[in-house]
A and B are shown apart, each in its own frame.
Chain A
């Protein structure tokens, strides 16, 4: 394998690695956004707060 071919192979490998890492990053879930922008999911998960045994307002 001559020197030019070696260089091409290295560049190709670097490019492939870059593409894979971007794909992996894009696939990393952001559950904050996924859940909190999903109206029906939020409705299903919501639990009403338990009220303290007091009355009053400011």
Chain B
């Protein structure tokens, strides 16, 4: 892993980022011969405060300070309905800044050096080159537990059809979604530049009449993922329940955000005693389910559900039932159970 700290000498004369020398961003003492002395006062992540990049990239740094990748506000928004007012105060003081926000991405985490995940980092992405994008590294470092391997088909199942067509993360997720637009959103659901399937696949433009009919029948009732998620995907208990006790799975049920919609659900990692070490019992734990609607990144044009109506309407394959609900889970989970109507003869 030492290569993660080796700088390409040729870059130093070419890239304007290096014109001001190392210490302007990193501090330290370039006259010292011993590593410990040279590294005294070293700033490992100079872009963490955004001010260093903001000298030249003022607008981006200003917007980014309010973006979800920097604020991590989405994590707080997701869990806060479980807390009483007093518990939320403890959470903000003891947990959020120290734990959740410790994962926020600095400019350098995407453009220079891979973000550390659980203490491990591959180091510099391309020998300290300032890269615009390199999704397999920059996105996959943090989103490599579920989304990225799901997309590329790394852990079984077919890869996402968009990946097979040569598309990567930033073909759908545009830079404004990451850099922000100057507004501080509470959740990714609120971000207007968030991609939607219909941005490219306009309803009514289907060439196959059966597909058009099926889309009309299920419009406003089933999400795109509900039918087009191609295979099982990882849930939190795939890894964190007795060391990979569970296999990846697909869960179909009502969206917690809009219970009229049937969609793919993913089990989330907040259990009853998650914040017990910080003295938070989660008084309102049962107000929120243990499943969130998930945009599974394993889209296929044809799936078991698009081929045959009885996969859902008779066999009810992968549908959440009382029997498959998480044990000792939130009481709100039951509200997500959806029973499809039988096909009319």
Which residues from chain A sit less than 8 Å from chain B, CB to CB?
28-33, 35-39, 42-43, 45-46, 48-49, 51-52, 54-58
Contact = CB atoms under 8 A, between A and B. Distances in A.
A54 B99 CA distance: 14
Contacts of B30: 29-33
- Pick from A36, A42, A52 the residue with the most CB of B within 10 Å: A36
A52 B154 CA distance: 26
Contact of B2 (A32, A46, A52, A57): A46
Contacts of B120: 49, 51
Contacts of B33: 29, 31
A46 B118 contact: no
A29 B34 CA distance: 12
Given A37-B8, A37-B9, A57 B119 contact: no
Given A30-B22, A33-B12, A56-B118, A46 B145 contact: no
A51 B8 CA distance: 28
A32 B118 contact: no
Given A32-B30, A49-B120, A58 B103 contact: yes
Given A46-B1, A46-B2, A57-B117, A33 B9 contact: yes
11 contacts: A29-B33, A30-B22, A31-B31, A31-B38, A32-B23, A32-B30, A39-B3, A42-B5, A51-B118, A57-B144, A58-B103
Contacts of A55: 118, 239
